[in-house]
Structure formats: C-alpha cells, structure tokens
Amino acid sequence: MRISTIGCGYLGAVYAASMASIGHEVLGLDVDQKKVDDLNRGIAPFHEPGFEKVLQDALEAGRLRFSTDYSHAADYTAHVICVGTPQLIDAAGADLTYVHAAVDALIPHLAEDAVVLGRSTVPVGTAASLRERLRAAGRENALAWNPEFLREGFAVEDTLRPDRIVYGLPEDPAESARARAVLDEMYGTMLENGTPLVAGNYATAELVKVSANSFLATKISFINAVAEVCEATGADVSVIAEAIGLDDRIGPKFLRAGIGFGGGCLPKDIRAFMARAGELGVTEALGFLREVDHVNNRRRDHVVNMARQALGGAFTGKRVAVLGAAFKPDSDDTRQSPALYIASKISGRGADVVVTDPAANARVHAERPNLAVAEDAYAAAAGADIVLLLTEWTQFKELDPVRLREVVGTPTMIDGRNVLDPAAWREAGWTYRSMGRP
C-alpha cells in the first residue's frame, strides 16, 4: 500500500517508519523543513527507543521518504492524519487547527480512489465534520477513523504490535467497504498475526480512544486517592495495589501511586473529553473526571508541601535537588510533567533548584532558565538540603544511597515514585519519605 502520513511529529514519524518497516511505501509530509531534513537523514527529532533504527532501515530500503511538498500526495492511496490536537490555550477543549489544516492541504492532491484516515486523538464528532469538509470541497473520497494507542517509550512496539486495531467506518456502505479494504491491506500482517479488530462508526472509534485514556487516568488517580487515605492511617498503598491488582478484574497495571500522570495525552485528553461532554449536554456523565484531574494535581502540591515541611517550613535559601524532569522515564518529553511542575513551584518559592534528567536536560536548560541543570544525580545532589526523586529512571532507581549520602548536604529523600527501598536508604542514614507508604 502507498501511504502518506500528514504530520511527522511523534505520532506521524513513528507511524511512517513503522509502516514502511512492514513493507509499505510511505511518504511523510510535514510543514517543518528542518524536521523533514532530519528525518530524511535518519535523525530522530525526539527521544524514542528503537525509532531511529526503524527509521534508518526503512530509508535504506528505499520505502520511506519525507517531504514538505504536499503535491507528492497525489501518488498515494491512504492518507493518514497524524497531526497534534493540543489543549486550547484559553479553554479545556482540543485545538483542531492542525487537523483542519492537514485536510485542507491534502484536498487539492487527493487521487480519486484515495482514502483519508484519521489517527489523531479528536473530540467525538470530528470525523463526521471532516467528511463534510471533503464533500464541501467537492471530494468524494472515503474517510475513516483509526485511532492509535501508542505509549511514549514503546511507540514502535505499540504501532507494530498493538493490543487491538480500531476502525471507525462511514455509514455509506460503498464508502465503508472502500475504507475497510484499504485498512485491511495496510494492517494485513498484523491482522494475520491475530491482532483483534474492533469496528464501529465514527463516533464509536473516536470515543474508544478517549475512553481508554480516561480509564487509565482514573486508575492512577484512584490509587493516588487511596494513597491520601494511607497517609492519614499508616497503611501502605503499594501493598494495597498489589493485593487489589491480584483480582484479575482489576489487574496490577496503572496502579502505581506517586506524583500522578503527566505527558501530552492523559491530562489533555480527560479535559477535552469533559469539555466535549459539556457541549453535548452530558456534563454530569463525566463529572468524575473532574475529580480525577483534582486528585492528580493535589499529589504534585502534596510533594511541594512535604518538601517545605522537611526543610523546616520555608524554601528560601535552600538547595533542592530534583531527580527527573521528563513526565516518565525513557522519554525526553516534559509536557505537563509533574516533576517539572514541582521543580518550578519550589524554585518560585525561593529555593535554588538543581534538576537532572538522563534525556531532558537540554530541554530544561532551554525552557526553564530559573532551574539549574546538573550532569547526573550525584552532581545535582551535591550540597543539597533535600533530594526529590520525581521520574523513575533506572539510573535513579539504582542510585547508591551510601555514595549519595557522601555528597548531599542533608540526607533527606522524598521518593515521589515509590521506587527506592526504604530500608536500604534509612540504613544508609537517610530520612526517607515516599507516597502513601508509612
């Protein structure tokens, strides 16, 4: 299949390279010349394990190229919209500017039998409105929705070996058959390998994506809410998570208590979902997501308060070491990062904050001039009055408490991700505190 991806950000670039790696001819289109040049040279514009190898192999095999010239799309059959849908600056809803621009840029170059597919996370109703946009421009091309579920850090794996493939198909039978034929060919090898296929209408496919992310966010906030109760009672949230997770109706994943979720998806998706429910007149249906968001924000502020108390009630003149800036390990993404939120808040209250992150140091340096950046955990902790572990990188999980004790000013550790062994750290002379554990 000849596939073009519109938008070569995180989603589009990984998708383009992954689809080329399973034998398709892929063209990645983007308006950003530098990004296109980098990708054509086999350079990843972001940190993602395994991506650069897949990219380089596909380029070498001659099945992948990137361009800013949308007229090349005329030679391709499936056009996959992979642009971002960020949160609006002044509201909770999703900004569809890039989705509309992608469709508009494509319209003049659509071959008659080409199919338009959407992969971006969008508010329910978007696919239907894009189909209208095509019709208004005199285009009869089939349009289908095909949401993605990739996690940063596992993006290639999740694209090539997804848990499920979802089709959101148009009502018109002939158009639906055309879209399905193209999708079946694109995902042929995955479907043959037994990947479950779930099909519904546009609204269903759009809602599958936001429902999945809202459920994951709810699971995290649920265990974090239980952590709050644990802190008031002396119970241990990690033991509770282990025990309830053994019930296979609940399952053990996404029950790690800590400083909550961040990133480019979960926070914005639950807010956009709530905003859309409001527009549809069913605000109360998703009222619980407001609480999910609140619990999530409370945990960040809780760490700030824990640190202030540990420092004797004020941050002024204190040196605070922050281990982690990315919203999760194996990523350089700092969007909505709880770690950076905490670091910035503490810095704003008068502390000297030194951050270190194995992948996001350059980003922190460029975007947060008020935060100092150190090479590694030992450099960050040198002379610090307190150390906060906020992103659970392996490097931090494996820190030597004895060695760190030698460089730190005051040996106080707040483990915001519950990943260190309390006994080992206390034995090495640390005052150790974590989230929802005695």
Binding site, by residue number, is: 30, 35, 85, 121, 149-152, 209, 254-258, 262, 268, 328, 335
Our finding on whether 260 is near ligand UDX (CB under 6 A) is: yes
Examine residue 261 and tell whether it contacts ligand UDX (CB under 6 A): yes
Please say whether the beta carbons of 5 and 30 come within 8 A.
no
* Alpha-carbon gap, residue 428 to 135, rounded angstroms: 69
Q: Which is nearer to ligand UDX, 73 or 270 (CB)?
A: 270
Q: Out of 146, 213, 361, 418, which residue is the one contacting ligand UDX (CB under 6 A)?
A: 213
Q: Which region holds residue 238: left if phi is over 0, alpha if psi is between -120 and 50, else beta?
A: alpha
Please tell me whether residue 347 binds ligand UDX under the rule CB under 6 A: no
- Contact status: 262 vs ligand UDX (CB under 6 A): yes
Amino acid found at 242:
E
Q: CA-CA distance, 36 to 30, in Å (whole number)?
A: 7
Tell whether residue 122 is a contact of ligand UDX (CB under 6 A).
no
Contact 229, 257 (CB under 8 A): no
- Asked if 363 touches ligand UDX (CB under 6 A), the answer is no
| Candidate list 8, 82, 230, 265, residue with the active-site label | 265
Cβ-count burial of 407 within 10 angstroms (0-12 exposed, 13-18 middle, 19+ buried)?
Answer: middle
Report if residue 46 touches ligand UDX, rule: CB under 6 A. Answer: no
Number of residues forming the site for ligand UDX (CB under 6 A): 19
Contact (Cβ atoms closer than 8 angstroms) between residue 201 and residue 169: yes
Interface with ligand UDX, residue 381, by CB under 6 A: no
Binding residues for substrate: 149-152, 209, 254-258, 262, 328
Q: Which is nearer to ligand UDX, 342 or 372 (CB)?
A: 342
Both structure tokens of 321:
């070491």
How many angstroms separate the CA atoms of 351 and 349, rounded?
A: 6
Please give the residues from 123 up to 162 whose contact with ligand UDX meets the rule CB under 6 A. 149-152
């596939």: which residue's tokens? Answer: 3
Q: Is 82 in the active site?
A: no
Say how far apart CA 1 and CA 221 lie, in whole Å.
Answer: 42
Residues in the site for ligand UDX, rule: CB under 6 A? 149-152, 213, 216, 220, 254-256, 258, 260-263, 265-266, 327-328
State the catalytic residues: 265
